[in-house]
Structure 1
């Protein structure tokens, strides 16, 4: 009898897990829709109409699917064994805050709606777990408590914090009205910005460390150096009004690595910095949602050249297609970290699994507008019935494996909206680069730019 009872309870639990909970979640999603998705593939759109449509539909991920309590961005749209319904992402929320600004300027929502959602996020962060001023990678969107990202990653993550504050500092430049809501946004962002103890994350050395945990201390021991997505972390650490780092930390830490300089040619295109073939394309995107690479230079590189060449190398590799994967072409290209048929992977020419991630080409619009538009039209008009969804394009696909993701990720959806907007108007670049602290930090590290006054 006990065995039968246990079997019944197990079957009942599975019924709840796979049928009742998803049904309830689907119902709640439908009742909270504020921006209606456009599911049919439209024909003969102008380029601007197509860009509007992609930005608006992708924005639904952050607006309609944003966490109902915190307003923050959920880590992903699908639920897997290690992602609960309450998991929100710190860095992805920074991208979402920027996406909300785009939506207000494009009139997808009103400025008042944008300010109210941003205030909701800022108020939540004000009370959420933080460690020496830095936030964890994941938070519980209902309680503000830390959700462990990995075995010992259960505390501060200064890279995720940097991606968050790239968005928040842009927001503090945008919400400038003299009213209660926008004043409160600015004040709380400033107070949190001043509270991040960047210098503490050096352990009194000339390099930044990625993680610290109240339970595990510095056990992860991950120095931030070499060329990758983390340039923004050093810029913010140098720009901080309090607890700043010295320029030596940048030069002797970040730039002092055997994976920093490159200088070799790939597909006859010179790559100044980073891994061979450039690594996944998010290296040229995450730090540059707010940081304007146009004319940005220091002792090490011209960052416009670095990022544009990275994209061109990635695209040329896909066209060459040395592994002969089905579906790679001048119309369908772009390797970056995303979901994959075998699980999450950091796709790049040196880790090529036959998976194309739409965010790769679409978030490269500022660097390669003609080629990115070519890819966008292919994804929408030719493959739309397989790729287009209620939150814009799905995360990734493999024609070789006949695999199409059922997922969307905040860190992939956000750059699509923001980088298309930077291509169209320079909106987020203009806001972020106007910040006086950012200007000071860039000067301290030896950067030059037409936007540095």
Structure 2
């Protein structure tokens, strides 16, 4: 009896003590469920981003292991090499070193293999057996020979994206070793060869390209799109620079319109708002056009991304799956060029949504959200997490996200391929969001700084 009574006394004491402690915590210690949930979300996002970057990096490292150091356009479908994807790959190797996936020595060796190839590859006006002409390179190259693939164009924009990757290598490999000296020398030599003035058929703009069979493409880089990096590199050339009025003419063709309540310079596929930002931190720097508008190009891309998302949420086409955390229209693979029950579907297409144009067949590409992580981190990361969680191995594999999916296509369609030019922005823009790695590196690149200043950019980090 005494033992049972003692247990009851202790139980009562414990209850009174816990009640007092509970009242104290309720009255004097702020309750923070939202903060705790946010911390759990941050932890989860870190694990997710860690695996996303590691897996996406493997596309470039494993598939770039070939005699010329070229990156295939796609995988696993047998593919030609993409010089733009190769440019993304060169920058990806730097991320790999900083994240501990590979050593600096490994990255330098692979980079040097690629640079030696492009430095010595044949350049001439011949239709076959060459890699480029006048310093430019063909859009796609045969993976085995490194020569022009079929009758593709000598591409100004893809050459620019390749050069941007090379310049990031030049800035990163700054040590006084024979290997890193050679990297810097070869990048300088390849960049100086590019004859931008030759591509100015209708001055001051730059042509989209050239074919040995029939000459220059009858379209120039104008409007707003991924060619910002092209003009900045062309303006900075020490050998064949374009005049500064090229930038003025380029910006004069912009379409500033309001779309989904977001006023911005319009371009419907999101990749055009992402590519140049991989290497240039546009936060706080403005050219004359953006000074007039009172924003910078980073803010413009943020608005374009939010407008893209808002369009998907509105979903005027009534496509399956579109929602606040499932969105993203950009250039990507698609199910097939066909019409089914009155609905048009496309294979590869520059999908997007803007006041100027909408191209939408229900196909969502992970790179749309992934390449915009710095602009819209919460919206983009939630979307990518949901995609991986909901669709699993149908959409996410050994190299990260497969290119696209369409839930409105009969039976639902999930791409089997990864695309280098879509995986690249996911990896590299995620790194910029997390550490500013590429942005900080390229702030000190003399070529990019010169190009930006000649384009009239002022303010921000350009003051230093």
For the aligned residue pairs, the C-alpha RMSD in angstroms reads: 1.7
Give the C-alpha shift of residue 204 in structure 1: 6.7
SS in 2 for 1:270: strand
Give the C-alpha shift of residue 45 in structure 1: 6.5
SS in 2 for 1:212: strand
| 155, 158, 163: which one aligns with 1:157 | 155
| 125, 136, 139: which one aligns with 2:138 | 136
Give the C-alpha shift of residue 383 in structure 1: 2.0
TM-score (ref. length: structure 1): 0.84
SS in 2 for 1:451: helix
Task: Give the aligned partner of residue 290 of structure 1.
Answer: 279
Give the C-alpha shift of residue 449 in structure 1: 4.0
Give the C-alpha shift of residue 203 in structure 1: 2.8
Partner Cα separation in structure 2 for residue 148 and residue 371 of structure 1: 41
Is 2:98 the counterpart of 1:98? no
Structure 1 residues 33-79: Cα deviation after superposition (integer angstroms, max 9, x where no partner):
xxxxxxxxxx9963212111001101111111225111211011143
Once the two structures are superposed, the pairs formed by residues 33-432 of structure 1 within 5 Å of their partners are 46-79=44-77, 85=79, 87-128=80-121, 129-148=131-150, 150=152, 153=153, 156-203=154-201, 205-218=203-216, 220-252=217-249, 254-257=250-253, 260-262=254-256, 264-271=257-264, 273-274=265-266, 278-301=267-290, 302-342=296-336, 343-349=347-353, 350-401=358-409, 402-432=412-442
Between Structure 1 and Structure 2, whose CA radius of gyration is higher?
2
Structure 1 residues 5-38: Cα deviation after superposition (integer angstroms, max 9, x where no partner):
xxxxxxxxxxxxxxxxxxxxxxxxxxxxxxxxxx
Is 2:444 the counterpart of 1:444? no
Aligned length: 393
SS in 2 for 1:327: coil
Task: Give the aligned partner of residue 11 of structure 1.
Answer: none
C-alpha change, 1:200 and 1:358, in structure 2 (3 Å) is same
Give the C-alpha shift of residue 149 in structure 1: 5.1
SS in 1 for 2:81: strand
SS in 2 for 1:395: coil
C-alpha change, 1:208 and 1:268, in structure 2 (3 Å) is same
C-alpha change, 1:431 and 1:281, in structure 2 (3 Å) is same
Partner Cα separation in structure 1 for residue 351 and residue 454 of structure 2: 34
Partner Cα separation in structure 2 for residue 358 and residue 127 of structure 1: 36
Native 8 Å contact 1:78 1:407 kept in 2: yes
Native 8 Å contact 1:138 1:149 kept in 2: no
SS in 1 for 2:133: coil
What are structure 1's unaligned runs of at least 5 residues?
A: 1-42
Native 8 Å contact 1:67 1:88 kept in 2: no
Native 8 Å contact 2:312 2:323 kept in 1: yes
Native 8 Å contact 1:338 1:357 kept in 2: yes
SS in 2 for 1:255: helix
Structure 1 residues 277-333: Cα deviation after superposition (integer angstroms, max 9, x where no partner):
x30100111111101121131111220121100000001111111111111111111
Structure 1 residues 356-382: Cα deviation after superposition (integer angstroms, max 9, x where no partner):
100110111100001111112101222
Give the C-alpha shift of residue 130 in structure 1: 2.3
Task: Give the aligned partner of residue 14 of structure 1.
Answer: none
TM-score (ref. length: structure 2): 0.82
Partner Cα separation in structure 2 for residue 315 and residue 199 of structure 1: 39
Partner Cα separation in structure 1 for residue 371 and residue 148 of structure 2: 30
Partner Cα separation in structure 2 for residue 215 and residue 222 of structure 1: 17
Partner Cα separation in structure 2 for residue 248 and residue 321 of structure 1: 40
Give the structure with the larger strand fraction: 2
